[in-house]
Amino acid sequence: MKVIVGFARIFVGILFIISGFVKLNDPVGFSYKLQEYFSPGVLDIPFLVPFALPLAIFLVIVELLLGLTLILGYLKNITRWSLLLMILFFTFLTFYSAYFNKVTDCGCFGDALPLTPWESFSKDVVLTILILIVFFNQKYIRPIFNPSSHKWIFFLAFIGCLGFAYYVLMHLPAIDFRAYKVGVNISEGMKMPKDAKQAVYDYNWKFNIDGEEKIITTQGSYPSIDGEFIEVNTEVVEEGYVPPIHDFSLQQDGEDFTEEILSEQKVLMVSAYNLAKSEKAGWSAIKNKINEAHKKGYHVVGLSASGPNEIAKIKDIYGIEIDFYFADETAIKTIVRSNPGLVTLEEGTIMQKLHWNDAEDLNLK
């Protein structure tokens, strides 16, 4: 049993540290995931949405520190109870999400390792078993290092977490796990390989046959049957290949300008998923760079999911003259974790991504 407890302790501790660090690297992204869970369609607790970011930072720091204290053998009673309560809550959450198909990715490992809802639930079941082993066999947990050093290791780790969180919030994630990382060509990322696996669907056709409703299932073809057609519903049987970038498009007045803009030699994209929520200081910080980009022959475009009234207001207040294109809000949030943010493209390849705090570091050729 001592060996089993030792394995469970190290495995759970390392997993919690890795999971916590990956999310701490991108707390804004994790806060978006929490907002999804808080939405009316999932847990229906929208009053927590404004607190998603501080909650995200708090949860990931607690997660990381619990992994550390478990490995150290520090604060054993608090650690085992906290681990148990946390894993029971998240096991319930991932089961609810998977069973009712509410959230397609739990965000457990951020964008580094996307998991399906059932994969997330299975992972939490395994962790629950391991944590229960640790919980009921606390006597086998022996401290490592000198116990008197534990509080200082814990304190330094806590300060390090706070400092790292502050850094990535004021700039961008230190490690970019997303599909829109620097060096990626957006056009290439949207392509479907010739041998790509196609999704398989069941088509459930509902007919009125002799006064009785019947459902005939096919995989696409219209059933050869005598009856009055009522409706058809599709159901995914097997997921197909999804390209890394599948939600990027630039629309203006009903026209698609995606290919045109991605083919240009020099483009500066100013992204702001929601203009009303964008940082006021950010527009002042990037205004000079926008003007410089114009002078150096860049096509400067704005990306936003906001409407024309918000666009006109931003232009009027800050005197920024750029063409805005409508883009999917989730895609904009994924491209750069800053509102507003700056991205330079060369023939569709991402060359630079910057938080508005780092606008002065933007290198315009």
Q: Which of 160, 157, 154, 137 is nearest to 74 (CA)?
A: 154
Contact between residue 83 and residue 135 where contact means Cβ atoms under 8 Å apart: yes
The side-by-side arrangement of strands in the sheet containing 341-346 is 255-256, 251-252, 323-326, 299-304, 267-271, 341-346, 349-355
Q: Kindly state the average pLDDT of the residues 97-103.
A: 79
The side-by-side arrangement of strands in the sheet containing 200-209 is 212-218, 200-209, 228-238
Over 80: is that where the pLDDT of 103 sits? no
Q: Which residues contact 211 (CB under 8 A, 6 or more apart)?
A: none
The model's pTM is 0.85
Can you tell me whether residue 127 is helix, strand or coil? helix
Contact between residue 298 and residue 266 where contact means Cβ atoms under 8 Å apart: yes
CA distances to 26, 222, 290 from 31, in Å = 9, 44, 29
Contact between residue 6 and residue 140 where contact means Cβ atoms under 8 Å apart: yes
DSSP one-letter code for 200: E
Q: Kindly state the average pLDDT of the residues 319-342.
A: 94
| CA 310 to chain CA centroid, nearest Å | 25
Over 80: is that where the pLDDT of 15 sits? yes
Q: Which residues contact 96 (CB under 8 A, 6 or more apart)?
A: 102
pLDDT at 59: 95
Residue 85 in tokens:
């309560």
pLDDT digits (tens, 9 = 90+) for 267-297: 999 999 999 999 999 999 999 999 999 999 9
Contact between residue 172 and residue 337 where contact means Cβ atoms under 8 Å apart: yes
Over 80: is that where the pLDDT of 318 sits? yes
Percent of the chain at pLDDT exceeding 70: 100
Q: Kindly state the average pLDDT of the residues 335-357.
A: 97
Q: What is the mean pLDDT of the chain?
A: 92
Q: What is the DSSP string of 48-87?
A: GGGGHHHHHHHHHHHHHHHHHHHHHT-SHHHHHHHHHHHH
Q: Kindly state the average pLDDT of the residues 138-157.
A: 93
- H or E element: which one contains 91? helix 76-99
Dihedral over Cα of 245, 261, 363, 276: its sign: negative
pLDDT digits (tens, 9 = 90+) for 189-224: 999 888 888 778 888 888 888 888 889 888 877 788
Over 90: is that where the pLDDT of 235 sits? no
